[in-house]
Amino acid sequence: ILFTGLFSIVENVELNENEYVMKCIMRALNVAKDDLMDVVGVVLEKLTAALAQVAKNPKNPQYNHFLFESIAVLIRSVCTKDAAHTAAFEQFLFPPFQTVLQMEVVEFTPYVFQLLAQILEFRPEGAGLGEAYTSLFAPLLTPTLWERKGNIPALSRLLIAYLSKGPNELVLHLLGILGVFQKLVSSKANEQYAFELLRGIVMYLPQEAFMPRMKDILQILMMKLQQSKTPKFVGLLTHFFALLIGKFGSQAYLDQLNQLQPGMGLMILVQVWIPRLQAASPTRLEAKTQVIGLTKLLCETPALLADANGQQIWSQILACAVKIACSPESHLNSLSVQDNDDDAEIGYDATFSVLHFATRPARDPFPEVQDAGASLVQSVGKRCASHPGQVTPLIAQGLSSDQKLSAGFDGLCQKAGVQLS
């Protein structure tokens, strides 16, 4: 009855687009959650009809925002219950979405890209991309789409959703995707999206597909580092290196960078990476990724233990890893901030309007590692056992100057039941 009353106002063309009514629909849909299943078809039909109406001449940005949020609530509520429902949403929403994209309704394209990403992310594992999404992909690489500032956050997320659901199909488009990466990384405003894309490539594509391109990617990144060594760029770069090492081992990192210039891998560690971690600790998902990457550097890089210079770097890496693992600000094992739907600021923003109900927690690249701090001390413990008398003094060297670090490391060992030999 509530929805019947609200939609009768929405459908009345003589009444102007009423943002309060649309906000009420959004809130009611969110509260209804499980009870939505019986009415989802009717509500979706009404919302897509309202979308077709406003697409002809978008006037009220707040009304439009709540309209797209309402669709996002439906997708989230229904597909969380059963991912198989994504097929019905695709069938229903692709035609109006394609109309919006063909008509180039610039106010709506960022919303459409967010909802397309949301549905694709909910697609059942192993279901692939499906026909509709496959045919949509190539046009997404069109340079003019990426010229519009408002499209970039949503398009980047959509590309990553494609990488996660159809890695094998996307291998054929790798050069086009790297072209987008190169365009994004050249702009200070968009470099974070360039790195999100790069992390998506490393997380989802087969290694043999992108590793041959890694030298070119690193060359672009090193040139950018020379031109613009800002704290933000250094943070993004070192996060990427930690992920690369976590996924493919420290030798892959050293080999790839040393191809550009002998000794570059260690030089980046000493001059860029370690100073960055000493200055500011990463948090949440990046904190976990850093600890995992640094652990592999410590425990899978025999070259570091070969001479005094390498040993000093080893001690500094350990200090950085322990600092992140022990710092309460890192929130190491709580990976994303949970928003409360009722308190969230939901509404239109002129630069880029994030659809609150379409957001999803970031994907953990290392779900198999439950506790990165425990994993760190267990790996170091094994290293001590396999190199008796060599590693223990380096631990002392790395931690002795900071009482807090030393105590933190002991605490980690105790909690994980690790005794150093």
Give dist(CA 418, CA 411) in Å, integer. 10
Rounded mean pLDDT of 27-44?
A: 77
Rounded mean pLDDT of 140-164?
A: 93
Rank 50-59, 240-249, 329-338 by mean pLDDT and report only the highest: 240-249
pLDDT, residue 1, reads: 44
Kindly indicate the confidence band of residue 34, based on its pLDDT and cuts at 50, 70 and 90.
Answer: low
Kindly indicate the confidence band of residue 400, based on its pLDDT and cuts at 50, 70 and 90.
Answer: confident
pLDDT, residue 344, reads: 56
33 — alpha (psi -120 to 50), left (phi > 0) or beta? Answer: left
Kindly indicate the confidence band of residue 185, based on its pLDDT and cuts at 50, 70 and 90.
Answer: very high
pLDDT, residue 156, reads: 96
**What tens digit of pLDDT does each residue of 211-237 get?**
999 999 999 999 999 998 899 999 999
For residue 368, is pLDDT > 90?
yes
* Greater pLDDT, 374 or 345: 374
Q: Are 177 and 210 in contact (CB under 8 A)?
A: no
Give dist(CA 292, CA 277) in Å, integer. 14
Could you tell me the two tokens for 30? 């969110």
Three-state SS at 366: coil
Give dist(CA 212, CA 324) in Å, integer. 32
Rounded mean pLDDT of 166-170?
A: 92
Kindly indicate the confidence band of residue 395, based on its pLDDT and cuts at 50, 70 and 90.
Answer: confident
Give dist(CA 292, CA 332) in Å, integer. 11
Rounded mean pLDDT of 185-194?
A: 94
Residue of 362, 359, 361, 357 whose CA lies nearest to 31: 357
The amino acid at residue 1 is I
Q: Report CA 390 to chain centroid distance, whole Å.
A: 39
Give dist(CA 146, CA 156) in Å, integer. 9
Tokens 């600021």, located at residue? 345
pLDDT, residue 50, reads: 83
* Greater pLDDT, 9 or 255: 255
The sign of the dihedral angle between the CA atoms of 248, 254, 255, 261 is positive
- Say if residue 338 is exposed, middle or buried (CB neighbours under 10 Å; 0-12, 13-18, 19+): exposed
Residue of 242, 393, 247 whose CA lies nearest to 321: 242
pLDDT, residue 380, reads: 92
For residue 341, is pLDDT > 90?
no
- Say if residue 420 is exposed, middle or buried (CB neighbours under 10 Å; 0-12, 13-18, 19+): middle
For residue 55, is pLDDT > 90?
no
Give dist(CA 286, CA 239) in Å, integer. 6
Question: 14: which residues sit within 8 A by CB, 6+ positions away?
Answer: none
pLDDT, residue 276, reads: 95
Tokens 């968009």, located at residue? 190
Give dist(CA 158, CA 255) in Å, integer. 32
Three-state SS at 405: helix
